[in-house]
C-alpha cells in the first residue's frame, strides 16, 4: 500500500504540515516499507515456538514457549509523523497475528483520510479497520474492551488512556515525549555539535518526540556554541528559515499560538530568529534561559532552542536528574569518562552520543521511554513483542509417571527421603 501510493501519501502530509518530500520519503515512507519487508522476512523466526533448555530430568516434559497474538488491539497515533506512528505499530500488530483498529490523528486530516480510503483495498476489513475522528470518537473507542492499547502522543492524554485501560486491566504501550536535553562537553568539536543539534531541531520543524529540546552548555562556552548554531543555520537556510521549503511549518494555529506565547513570556535573550509568518516560525535560539523560564515549562515541540548555561558537566547531569526521565538524552563528548558519568548518572529512554535523531535509523535498537516519557518498546521485533505474549507450555507423557510417584499423598517418610 505504501509503495504503490507513496506520492499520494507524501502529498497528503505536505498538505497537513508542509513536510518536505525529502523528510517524508526518508523518515516515513522508506522506513515503513523497509520495516514491513523486514517483518515479513523475520516472521517465521519471530513466531517459531522455542523449545527450552532445561535440566535432563525435565526434558521429557517438552517445555516450549509459544508466541501468541494478544487479540484485538487499538492503536492511537499522533499527527507529527503520521505514517510512521500509525503504521509502525500496525505492522507489529499484523505480524503478531492481532486484529487491529487504527485511529490516526485528526490533526493530520489529509493523511488520515487517505489511509482510511486505501487500507480496505489492501487489508481484510473484518480484521483491520481505520477509524477516523478526534476526542469524541477516541473516547468511544476507549469504552470498549481491548487486548492491548498502543498510544503515541502526549503524557496528559496518556493518563486518560491508562485510566480507560485500567477498567479492563488492558496492557498498554505508551510512547510519549517530554523535554529531551542536550549536554555539551566544551572539549568536543563545538561546530559539529551545533550543526548536528540544529539539524535534529529542524527535522519536522522541531515537532518530533526526540527533538533536542534544550541545550545545557558550560557558561563560558555559551557564545561560541550560539555562534556555531548561527553559522550552520545560515548554511542550511541561506534565505532564512521562514522562506525555506527545506523545513515544515507548524501544524495548526493552536500549536502556533502556544509556541509564540512561550516565546513572548521568555526572560531569556533571543539571539537568533524569533519571527513568524502565517504558520511558519523561524529557527529561534534563546540564550541565558533559567530553569523557571516559560521555555522550560513544557516540551517545546517547535523550532525554538533554549540554551541553559551551567557551571560543569556534573551540573548538567544534576539538571537532568532533577526532572522527569526524558525520552532521549543527547550528549556531545568524546571523553570516555564523561560518557560513563552521563550513562551511570542519568536515566532516559535512549542515550545518544555525538549526534541527534540518528538513533531512529538503527532498526535494531528500541524506541521507547521510561517513567514520564512512557513505557513499552517499538521497532520491528520490539513492536511484535508488544502485541504478542509468551505462552509457556509443558506436556508430561504418561511415561513420566514413575518419576512423579513421590508427589502423591499419603505423604510418608519414604516420599520425603526420595
Ligand atoms: P495528537 O494531538 O494527534 O494526539 C494523539 C492522539 O490522541 C490522536 O489520535 C488524538 O485523537 C488522541 N487524543 C487527543 N486527545 C484525546 C483525548 N482527550 N482522549 C482520547 N484520545 C485523545 O498528538 P499530540 O499528543 O500532540 O502528539 C505530540 C506528542 O506526542 C508529543 O508529546 C510527542 O513528544 C509525543 N510523541 C511521542 C512519540 C514516541 O514515539 N515516543 C512519537 C511522536 C510523538
Mutate to test the pocket of ligand 1, among 88, 157, 173 (most ligand atoms within 8 A of CB): 157
pLDDT digits 0-9 by tens, 31-89: 999 999 999 999 999 999 999 999 999 999 999 999 999 999 999 999 999 999 999 99
Residues sharing a CB contact under 8 Å with residue 29, sequence separation 6 or more, in sequence order = 2, 6, 9, 10, 83
Task: Tell how strand 128-130 and strand 99-103 pair up.
Answer: parallel
For cell 517483518, the residue is: 39
In the reported structure, the alpha carbon of residue 256 is separated from the centroid of ligand 1 by a whole-number distance in angstroms of 16
For position 220, what pLDDT does the model report? 95
Q: Is 206 in the pocket of ligand 1 (CB under 6 A)?
A: no
Q: Is 377 in the pocket of ligand 1 (CB under 6 A)?
A: no
Atom 15, ligand 1: which residue's CA is nearest? 135
Q: What is the DSSP letter of 53?
A: P
Q: Tell me the CA end-to-end span of the chain in Å, nearest whole number.
A: 63
For position 415, what pLDDT does the model report? 73
The interface predicted TM-score of the complex, written ipTM, equals 0.96
- Active-site annotation holds for 175: yes
Ligand 1 atom nearest 327 alpha carbon? 41
Task: List the chain residues with pLDDT less than 70.
Answer: 418
Alpha carbon of residue 310 to chain centroid = 28
- Taking the C-alpha atoms of residue 51 and residue 48, their distance in angstroms, rounded to an integer, is 9
Atom 14, ligand 1: which residue's CA is nearest? 135
In the reported structure, the alpha carbon of residue 47 is separated from the centroid of ligand 1 by a whole-number distance in angstroms of 31
- What is the CA angle 299-183-220, rounded to 5? 115
Atom 39, ligand 1: which residue's CA is nearest? 175
For position 17, what pLDDT does the model report? 92
For position 285, what pLDDT does the model report? 98
pTM over the 0.80 mark: yes
- Active-site annotation holds for 209: yes
In the reported structure, the alpha carbon of residue 260 is separated from the centroid of ligand 1 by a whole-number distance in angstroms of 20
From 175, 282, 299, 386, the catalytic residue: 175
Q: Is 76 in the pocket of ligand 1 (CB under 6 A)?
A: yes
Q: Is 84 in the pocket of ligand 1 (CB under 6 A)?
A: no
For position 328, what pLDDT does the model report? 98
Q: Is 111 in the pocket of ligand 1 (CB under 6 A)?
A: no
Amino acid at each position: 500500500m505504501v509503495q504503490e501510493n507513496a506520492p499520494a501519501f507524501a502529498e497528503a502530509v505536505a498538505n497537513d504540515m508542509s513536510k518536505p518530500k525529502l523528510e517524508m520519503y526518508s523518515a516515513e515512507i522508506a522506513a515503513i516499507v523497509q520495516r514491513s519487508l523486514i517483518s515479513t522476512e523475520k516472521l517465521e523466526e519471530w513466531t517459531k515456538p522455542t523449545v527450552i533448555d532445561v535440566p535432563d530430568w525435565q526434558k521429557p516434559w517438552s517445555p516450549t514457549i509459544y508466541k501468541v497474538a494478544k487479540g484485538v488491539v487499538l492503536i492511537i497515533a499522533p499527527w507529527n509523523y503520521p505514517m510512521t506512528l500509525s503504521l509502525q505499530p500496525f505492522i507489529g500488530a499484523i505480524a503478531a497475528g492481532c486484529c487491529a483498529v487504527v485511529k490516526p490523528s485528526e490533526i493530520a486530516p489529509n493523511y488520515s483520510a487517505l489511509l482510511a480510503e486505501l487500507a480496505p483495498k489492501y487489508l481484510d476489513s473484518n480484521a483491520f479497520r481505520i477509524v477516523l475522528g478526534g476526542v469524541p470518537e477516541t473516547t468511544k473507542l476507549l469504552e470498549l474492551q481491548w487486548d492491548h492499547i498502543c498510544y503515541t502522543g502526549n503524557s496528559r492524554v496518556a493518563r486518560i488512556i491508562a485510566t480507560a485501560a485500567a477498567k479492563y486491566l488492558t496492557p498498554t504501550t505508551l510512547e510519549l515525549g517530554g523535554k529531551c536535553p542536550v549536554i555539551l562537553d566544551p572539549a568536543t568539536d563545538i561546530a559539529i555539535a551545533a550543526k548536528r543539534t540544529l539539524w535534529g531541531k529542524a527535522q519536522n520543524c522541531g515537532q518530533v518526540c526526540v527533538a533536542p529540546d534544550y541545550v545545557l552548555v558550560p557558561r563560558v562556552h555559551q557564545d561560541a556554541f550560539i555562534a556555531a548554531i548561527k553559522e550552520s543555520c545560515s548554511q542550511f537556510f541561506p534565505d532564512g528559515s521562514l522562506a525555506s521549503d527545506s523545513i515544515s511549518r507548524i501544524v495548526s494555529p493552536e500549536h502556533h499560538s502556544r509556541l509564540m506565547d512561550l516565546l513572548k513570556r521568555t526572560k531569556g535573550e533571543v539571539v537568533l530568529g524569533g519571527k513568524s509568518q502565517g504558520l511558519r516560525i523561524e529557527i529561534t535560539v534563546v540564550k541565558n534561559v533559567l530553569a523557571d523560564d516559560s521555555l522550560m515549562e513544557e516540551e517545546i515541540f517547535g523550532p525554538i532552542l533554549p540554551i541553559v548555561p551551567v557551571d560543569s558537566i556534573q551540573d548538567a547531569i544534576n539538571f537532568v536528574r532533577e526532572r522527569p526521565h526524558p525520552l532521549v538524552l543527547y550528549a556531545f563528548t568524546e571523553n570516555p569518562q564523561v560518557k560513563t558519568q552521563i550513562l551511570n548518572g542519568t536515566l532516559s529512554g535512549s542515550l545518544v552520543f555525538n549526534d541527534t535523531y540518528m538513533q531512529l535509523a538503527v532498526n535494531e535498537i528500541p524506541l521507547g521511554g521510561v517513567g514520564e516519557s512512557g513505557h513499552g518498546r517499538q521497532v520491528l521485533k520490539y513492536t511484535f513483542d508488544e502485541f504478542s505474549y509468551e505462552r509457556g507450555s509443558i506436556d508430561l507423557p504418561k511415561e513420566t509417571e514413575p518419576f512423579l510417584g513421590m508427589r502423591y499423598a499419603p505423604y510418608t517418610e519414604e516420599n520425603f527421603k526420595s
